[in-house]
Structure 1
Amino acid sequence: MSQREWIEKDFYKELGVSSNATQDEIKKAYRKLARDLHPDANPGDTKAEERFKTVSEAHAVLSDPAKRKEYDETRRLFAGGGYGRGGGFNPNAAGGFSQDFNIGDIFGGAGGATADSGLGDLFGGLFNRGGQRTTSRPRRGSDVETETTLGFREAAQGVTVPLRMTSPSPCTTCHGSGAKPGTSPRVCPNCNGTGIISRNQGAFGFSEPCDDCRGSGSIIDDPCVDCHGSGIQNRTRTITVRIPPGVSDGQKIRLAGQGEAGLRGAPSGDLYVTVHVSQDKVFGRNGDDLTLVLPVSYSELVLGTTVSVPTLEGRVGVKVPPGTVDGRILRVRGRGVPKRGGAGAGAGDLLVTVKVAVPQKLDDEATEALKRYQEAEKTSGFDPRAGWAGS
């Protein structure tokens, strides 16, 4: 994106949110627009496709706190009319600078923007520092977001899933160069490959994107017929994604270089896959620990027993000690969710909560046996409510 585009585009308006919108509001607005404008939902609609790209571009800036801060500061700095659509700058305009103001204090790095902040790169193209010429860097592709839903056990154990998606990708004909196969782009003679041209206005030196090469630094005499010189095609592709074991609901998986293609062979953006995990009928999860509720009978709690319970890797026997109280949690070590960090990191535990199951109906024999036990219990002196509620 050129400096002028950065300043003039209203990304908040593109997403339909206010400038003080929260990150959640921005994300929600983008998801709705992306779903409505996605090429898969609007086949052959070029207007929807262009709008989808614009919305994705706006989200790429506003969803990144650092980029959003730079964007807001840049637009706020030039909101007073200091930067006009004609590309000039009037130091005497409202919000402009006084004659003794040193532009290098803000843009030169000393006490101003750092080299890594992005502001230096942005303003370096607007104001030519000391006559230095900088080479235009290829524009990296935007990041792309998508979602997938996994079963509970797939998420816990890890799985490889194919994702079918439509997004801008490197042209398969010219391999992203934008030039017809057998030819190559040539260095722009107007800017000598820098992508910018410089001019002076008063005390300031200004740099603007070169009109001949549109800031790319190169000219394509014979464009690729399939991508029309952009080096990018909007195509449907299938990506195989390895979801690591132990992924949790809402977690994002980053795939470097699998996002939108860069312009004319520039690096591609990244793909972020948000994982949604469905619930399981048996298992629950608490961090790296698996949880389940084990139904048992009253006699099993009193007398003790060993019960076979499921795990992610088969079944194991869990010993219920005699006299176990209802609701007790029994721990089976190392039978939980694999911990992040590889096979050597181990796994969490399986937490088994015993829950007595009360029969809803008994036959005559069982009823008589239970009555005899009830009498024997009273004779033994057992009182389940002894000491309870002041009794």
Structure 2
Amino acid sequence: MTEVDYYELLECDRGADAGTIKSAYRKLAMKYHPDKNGGCKDHEAKFKAVSEAYECLKDPQKRAAYDRFGHAAFKNGGGHGAQDFGGFSDIFESVFGEFMGGRAGGRAAARRGADLRYDLEITLEEAFHGKQTEVTIEVSAACEPCAGTGAKPGTAARQCPTCGGHGKVRAQQGFFVVERTCPSCHGAGQVIADPCTACRGEGRVDKPKTLSVNIPAGVDEGTRIRLSGEGECGARGAPPGDLYIFLHVARHRIFEREGTTLLARCPVSFTTAALGGTITIPGLDGEPNEIRIPAGIQSGKQIRQRGGGMPVLQGRGRGDMVVQIDVETPTRLSARQKELLQQFRETETGEECPQSKGFFAKLKDVIG
């Protein structure tokens, strides 16, 4: 299941402060509020998504849990590979419990597998259309001979004699009792006397894994896709971590991108700029975009083509295409062309180029 990162939804960096997150939420909430969009279902869904993201990230404790566990922090036994938390108190303990002594008398939870990162480069066309692709990673998986227990087949782990299966030991220091993770079983509450030879008691081995990744249309540079439960296998049957796919969009030969807007620099001849005309620029969807050049256009002028840009991620509609006109001065002229241009220059009055006329008039006033 593809889940969009909360920071991506709010269009914020992961290190953004509370004020920045609040400001981003207000802007998006106003943009997608159903009352302002005629009850549009897609805008309503987007509004709910950004509201959910803000509810999480505005709370420092929830944000800390989300930064560590992702969406799995708020799932209670649901979804493939999601870590099973009994409630937010369990999340808080998982994040801060090591500093606060943990739950008294309780066995330390089995160590969850590490989250993994995979960087995937895609083309701008693939970001436009979306795609289904496969990635192959080297990741730890449950050992088959011991079924992930770490114990030699036919044997089993036994209760740790040091901590009595609690996973923690206590020591008296003056008036205080200090509770620490058991040094013998490292908090598992069990020890393996006869470890599996295939995994050396780890319960997991490294092996390649091929995964299918769904890249939705409209993704941008840095978009993060989470594959729940596809990270490193947890030790001795512990829950697995998650795999995060970070997308990188390759530089395009024609277009640059700003959000859902596509920008293109288009050189046109000075005659087209002077007389006007029409140019055709194919979009990323292959459809032609006819751009009308008004007569007398100046270099650097931008023309906007509505709906010619990138799709809106998890929404409907598309952004715009913006074409910047660069008037090109000819460098290779025939004798006839030079003759015609000379004739044109002889007919100039200065009114043809008001900007030039105005500049030199001001310059004359300055010089005196």
Q: TM-score higher than 0.5 here?
A: yes
Equivalent position amino acid for 2:293 in 1: V
Q: Which residue of 2 aligns with 1:236?
A: 208
Is the 8 Å Cα contact of residues 115 and 121 (structure 1) preserved in structure 2? no
Q: Which residue of 2 aligns with 1:317?
A: 290
Is the 8 Å Cα contact of residues 176 and 232 (structure 1) preserved in structure 2? yes
Post-superposition shift, 1:216?
A: 1.3
Structure 1 residue 284 corresponds to structure 2 residue 256: yes
Separation (CA, whole Å) in 2 of partners of 1:335 and 1:174: 57
Cα distance change on mapping 1:241 and 1:388 into 2, 3 Å: same
Separation (CA, whole Å) in 1 of partners of 2:334 and 2:225: 56
> Identity over aligned residues, as a percent?
37
Is the 8 Å Cα contact of residues 296 and 355 (structure 1) preserved in structure 2? yes
Q: Which residue of 1 aligns with 2:235?
A: 263
Is the 8 Å Cα contact of residues 157 and 337 (structure 1) preserved in structure 2? no
Cα distance change on mapping 1:237 and 1:383 into 2, 3 Å: closer
Cα distance change on mapping 1:121 and 1:365 into 2, 3 Å: same
Match runs of 1:34-183 below 5 Å = 115-116=92-93, 118-125=95-102, 132-180=104-152
Please provide the CA RMSD for this pair. 3.3
Post-superposition shift, 1:260?
A: 2.0
In the comparison of the two structures, how many residue pairs are matched? 274
Structure 1 residue 368 corresponds to structure 2 residue 339: yes
Separation (CA, whole Å) in 1 of partners of 2:93 and 2:189: 23
Equivalent position amino acid for 1:239 in 2: L
1:302 is aligned, of 271, 274, 279, to 274
Q: Aligned to 2:279, what secondary structure does the other structure show? A: strand
Equivalent position amino acid for 2:267 in 1: P
Separation (CA, whole Å) in 2 of partners of 1:214 and 1:278: 45
Q: Aligned to 1:154, what secondary structure does the other structure show? A: helix
Cα distance change on mapping 1:184 and 1:252 into 2, 3 Å: same
After superposition, the C-alpha distances for 1:339-385 in whole angstroms (9 at most, x for unaligned) are 22x1x33222100111122221122232223333333444x953452
Q: Aligned to 1:155, what secondary structure does the other structure show? A: helix
Separation (CA, whole Å) in 2 of partners of 1:295 and 1:123: 65
Post-superposition shift, 1:284?
A: 0.8
Any runs of at least 4 consecutive aligned residues in structure 1 with deviations exceeding 6 A, and if so which? none
Separation (CA, whole Å) in 1 of partners of 2:236 and 2:163: 18
After superposition, the C-alpha distances for 1:139-171 in whole angstroms (9 at most, x for unaligned) are 012222332333333334434443333233332
Cα distance change on mapping 1:241 and 1:174 into 2, 3 Å: farther
Structure 1 window deviating more from structure 2 (233-242 vs 326-335): it is: 233-242
Equivalent position amino acid for 1:318 in 2: I
2:303 is aligned, of 316, 330, 335, to 330
TM-score (norm 1): 0.60
Q: Which residue of 2 aligns with 1:57?
A: none
Separation (CA, whole Å) in 1 of partners of 2:262 and 2:297: 21
Unpaired stretches in structure 2, ≥5 consecutive residues: 1-14, 16-62, 66-90
Cα distance change on mapping 1:211 and 1:121 into 2, 3 Å: closer
2:175 is aligned, of 191, 203, 217, to 203
Structure 1 residue 247 corresponds to structure 2 residue 224: no
1:350 is aligned, of 303, 306, 321, to 321
Post-superposition shift, 1:137?
A: 0.6
Separation (CA, whole Å) in 2 of partners of 1:228 and 1:168: 13
Is the 8 Å Cα contact of residues 107 and 187 (structure 2) preserved in structure 1? no
Is the 8 Å Cα contact of residues 336 and 349 (structure 1) preserved in structure 2? yes
Q: Which residue of 1 aligns with 2:19?
A: none
Unpaired stretches in structure 1, ≥5 consecutive residues: 1-22, 24-64, 68-113
Is the 8 Å Cα contact of residues 351 and 357 (structure 2) preserved in structure 1? no
Post-superposition shift, 1:196?
A: 2.8
Q: Which residue of 2 aligns with 1:108?
A: none
Equivalent position amino acid for 1:324 in 2: I
TM-score (norm 2): 0.63
